[in-house]
């Protein structure tokens, strides 16, 4: 997954966010059904405007970390202190976004179970 560059040579942050969403969703056991998918609103885009990945390589680090146990095996304060600022910032963002996606998936499953 390379950098998403638009025609003007600038990074396309929306494409980066979309790629990250796909990768994070791959760690959730059941992919969401498209019929239950929520549309992205203008408020969502405005909120996400300040949220971005500093370095796309950090997403690969996050995915490897998740594959090796992720949040089940936390890091020590010393390890956190030695991380580069951009990596730490991206890890915090990706962890938070992953948690949100997982919570949304659980809510959709709960709703679909209630409808049956």
Do the domain assignments include residue 50? yes
| Higher pLDDT pick, 46 / 8 | 46
Do the domain assignments include residue 58? yes
Mean pLDDT of the chain: 76
When divided into structural domains, the chain yields a total of 1
Q: Are 52 and 84 in contact (CB under 8 A)?
A: no
Task: Tell me the CA distances in angstroms from 53 to 57, 73, 77, 108, one per residue in order.
Answer: 9, 23, 23, 27
Do the domain assignments include residue 22? yes
pLDDT tens-digit series, residues 77-94: 888 889 998 898 888 888
Residue 24 burial class via C-beta count within 10 angstroms: exposed 0-12, middle 13-18, buried 19 and up: buried
pLDDT tens-digit series, residues 10-25: 566 777 777 788 878 7
- Structural domain including 105 reads 13-115
């Amino acid at each position: 997954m390379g950098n998403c560059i638009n025609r003007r040579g600038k990074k396309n942050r929306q494409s980066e966010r979309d790629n990250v969403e796909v990768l994070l969703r791959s760690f959730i056991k059941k992919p969401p059904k498209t019929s239950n998918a929520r549309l992205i609103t203008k408020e969502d885009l405005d909120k996400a405007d300040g949220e971005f990945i500093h370095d796309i390589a950090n997403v690969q680090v996050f995915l490897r970390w998740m594959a090796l146990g992720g949040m089940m095996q936390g890091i020590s304060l010393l390890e956190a202190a030695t991380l580069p600022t951009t990596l730490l910032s991206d890890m915090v963002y990706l962890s938070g976004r992953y948690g949100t996606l997982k919570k949304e998936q659980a809510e959709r499953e709960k709703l679909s179970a209630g409808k049956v």
